[in-house]
Amino acid sequence: MFGHKLANLRKDHNLTQKDLADVLKCSPSRIGMYEQGRRSPDLETLEALADYFKVTTDLLVGRTESLTVPIIKESDEIYQLNTIIDPITEYIKTKLKNENLSTVSEILSEDDIMLFVRFGENAAIEMIKNRIHQKKQSV
């Protein structure tokens, strides 16, 4: 399960095994072994992967399908986007249907739609971080 998730995340980010190995400072063959289920990562590597892909370790090991992760902790508030993921997914499906693109749902899988949502989520994360940074600098 971990290997399959890792391979999908790597491919979703248009990375080769060598690219990911460079990020983790390991060999490409180690990435291949992870993806084939012939080797398991240590905790430090698992955390590094979760941080890099902005997912939870639970997602990587198959304990959850949620792609979201608490993204910013400030003043004991955790900003999470997972409460809006489902409505966004439904909005995309409805919008496609309203645009007479309902046949697209035959081409796009749930994973494809979640990937679109994740791209938007990552953009939102960066915007939130920038605004917090700007606010701190103006004080």
Residue numbers of the chain with a pLDDT score lower than 50: 68-79
- Whole-angstrom distance, CA of residue 39 vs CA of residue 36: 8
pLDDT at 13: 86
Q: If DSSP codes are grouped into helix, strand and coil, which group holds residue 39?
A: coil
Q: Give the DSSP H/E element, type plus range, for residue 101.
A: none
Residue 6 to residue 53: CA distance in whole angstroms: 10
pTM of the model: 0.50
For residue 69, the model assigns a pLDDT of: 46
Q: How many angstroms separate the CA atoms of 128 and 43, rounded? A: 29
Which residue carries 């080797």 as its tokens? 39
Instruction: Give the pLDDT score at 41.
Output: 92
Please, what is the Cα angle at 12 between 52 and 103, to 5 degrees? 145
What's the pLDDT at 83?
55
Question: Positive or negative, the Cα torsion across 114, 115, 118, 119?
Answer: negative
In the chain, what are the domains? 2-61 (1.10.260.40), 72-138 (no CATH)
